[in-house]
Structure 1
């Protein structure tokens, strides 16, 4: 006849208060991690190209520096083609092409596919230029009117047509060099693609760590199979169904798979070093640090430095840059994100295979089993 076990003792009141307060701190940390990049977001040293004569560039640079408060960093190019090439290679976020004369309409170049926030900022710069041009035109015409009136000794005779002064029309042109696709005109799908990628990477790493039993090699093989399959599925939905991704399907699927492997490998690798707790550490690091700094919510240039640049060294940041470049910026150099993600995968794979918590010598295992046997036998002897 089995004796029912005693119910567990209730949690003490001091422990209850500590747990509740600790949970509130965790919620605050989560809120801070996700809200801080967005609330503190502001353009800082945003690279913008400029084409024009030295005098024109100097005048515009002074005006921009006075009005932007360090938000824009100008880079001079020889002609419009060079500026466009720099935008498509993601060396600059936009450009201003000035006319040869003050009456020639300038052109503002932007790339909505790079960032809708930066594109809106370039539109604001276009409005600022338009206001400056209108003020210059108005001042020039007023000077001409005053000069004509001062040189006219008498009013025009009856029937004589008075002199007319026309305001020249100079309108700033705006050109979107790299627009978003018609299927995703606001870039919502491209931005939203980062969330399932990060969640998928975390979920895969945690499940593989906690559910699969056996050696680290088994976990690594499961990770590679999962990353490859998930890359195909996510790319099929985002590109085939929503049209959020552009370019070659297999290249995008490879980038997705490598990104998921890098995130999941970080979690399984930490678990291979310190055990199941490493999975929690890796998941928290990815969700609370790497993801907010990735530039998925706001451009990396808008995040307080150096954190915006640091975020590009983590898997979510490198993944976001790589996927966006493959879709819209075929001229951009993607060597850095490809190599960085591959390094994260390799390091995670090594630590996953090492599996320090799972390495127990046969002798220590025998001692552990022998000790458990003695403890189980002790009550039997006592009963006899």
Structure 2
């Protein structure tokens, strides 16, 4: 005789349908809303030049698009761009406008800043000269390879959790799964860095520094998913996968730079492993590690969360085993 009455089956079906509808709605919001409101949002840029000229520039850039900071010299402005203190900048004189950009730090912000420089130059009946201080590589001038690396990193977190749990199931295989995820992160991060640097030539920074960042990013994704799965079962795995793929991916800002998303969405994206992984990759690959501290710390926290969830599941799983052992002894 079936244990499921028609009413119980109906309730279960209703919950499944509502859950799937909520998931699709969340997916639509995560992809559509940031795109609808995308654009420059408080992008930090520097300005150098005579007071009258910089005053005119500030009036031209009024609004929420730019966060303008004054620098005493052009050299100080250039150094700030190279150190990721600002996304770019302009020097304005009576006869010329120079635009300093860092395309590798955010191509969309670079385009908007160039347009601002052209507008200011037109007001002074001159032309703007663009200097790209941190460009993408010559073999990949649009950064397509770096942008494409995000999905393999996300799947690099999903697949180990799924496959390792099938090969080493149950409580007894939990520690083996965690060790396997960390070992996989080591191998996968090294391989992804090698492809980006030596196959597609999409990055040209220090290979080992880039590799360490990619290992940390992959470990953050894989351990978090494994910990959720160990503690909550497949529901935890589904929750973690949806969080990383449906929310973390569109909010990562890897293709555009984080300043191109609305402020709240951008902050949330940088706190999730995909966004932090992208920021760490950008910092290590093009800026010699400048600005890598916060995303590295964020990823380390996620690794700690994943391992903590796994240890909690391990402790919970020991209790039934201990109880069965004591009962057998009695």
In the superposition, the TM-score normalised over structure 2's length comes to 0.88
Q: 1:60 to 1:178 in 2, by over 3 A?
A: same
- Tell me the equivalent position of 1:121: 112
CA offset at residue 44 of structure 1? Answer: 1.3
Mapping 1:232-243, distance limit 5 Å:
232-243=190-201
Unmatched tracts of structure 1, length 5 or more: 135-169, 370-384
Larger mean Cα displacement after TM superposition, 73-82 or 269-278: 269-278
- The partner residue of 1:358 within 305, 317, 325 is 317
For 1:106 and 1:305, the matched residues in 2 are separated by 29
For 2:240 and 2:139, the matched residues in 1 are separated by 35
For 1:249 and 1:182, the matched residues in 2 are separated by 17
- 1:81-101 deviations in Å (ceiling 9; x for gaps): 1111111111111101112xx
Mapping 1:183-332, distance limit 5 Å:
183-213=139-169, 214-330=172-288, 332=290
CA offset at residue 105 of structure 1? Answer: 1.0
DSSP-derived class of the 1:306 partner: helix
CA offset at residue 356 of structure 1? Answer: 4.5
- Tell me the equivalent position of 1:160: none
CA offset at residue 310 of structure 1? Answer: 2.7
Q: 1:215 to 1:350 in 2, by over 3 A?
A: farther
CA contact (8 A) 1:37 1:298 kept: no
Unmatched tracts of structure 2, length 5 or more: none
CA contact (8 A) 1:272 1:356 kept: no
- Tell me the equivalent position of 1:76: 70
- Tell me the equivalent position of 2:96: 105
- Tell me the equivalent position of 1:380: none
1:344 aligns with 2:302: yes
Q: 1:31 to 1:89 in 2, by over 3 A?
A: same
- Tell me the equivalent position of 2:130: 174
For 2:22 and 2:36, the matched residues in 1 are separated by 20
- Tell me the equivalent position of 2:47: 50
CA contact (8 A) 1:220 1:353 kept: no
Larger mean Cα displacement after TM superposition, 318-327 or 288-297: 288-297
- The partner residue of 1:64 within 54, 61, 66 is 61
For 1:296 and 1:222, the matched residues in 2 are separated by 28
CA contact (8 A) 1:252 1:323 kept: yes
- 1:17-45 deviations in Å (ceiling 9; x for gaps): 87567545533332322222222212111
Mapping 1:142-153, distance limit 5 Å:
none
CA contact (8 A) 1:89 1:332 kept: yes
- 1:141-171 deviations in Å (ceiling 9; x for gaps): xxxxxxxxxxxxxxxxxxxxxxxxxxxxx33
1:88 aligns with 2:92: no
RMSD value over aligned CA atoms? Answer: 2.8
For 2:11 and 2:307, the matched residues in 1 are separated by 43
Larger mean Cα displacement after TM superposition, 85-94 or 241-250: 241-250
For 2:273 and 2:157, the matched residues in 1 are separated by 10
For 1:331 and 1:251, the matched residues in 2 are separated by 8
Q: If each structure's helix is expressed as a fraction of its own residues, which one has the higher value?
A: 2
Larger mean Cα displacement after TM superposition, 258-267 or 9-18: 9-18
DSSP-derived class of the 1:332 partner: coil
CA contact (8 A) 2:42 2:259 kept: yes
Q: 1:17 to 1:332 in 2, by over 3 A?
A: closer
Q: 1:362 to 1:206 in 2, by over 3 A?
A: closer
Q: 1:13 to 1:281 in 2, by over 3 A?
A: closer
For 1:363 and 1:356, the matched residues in 2 are separated by 11
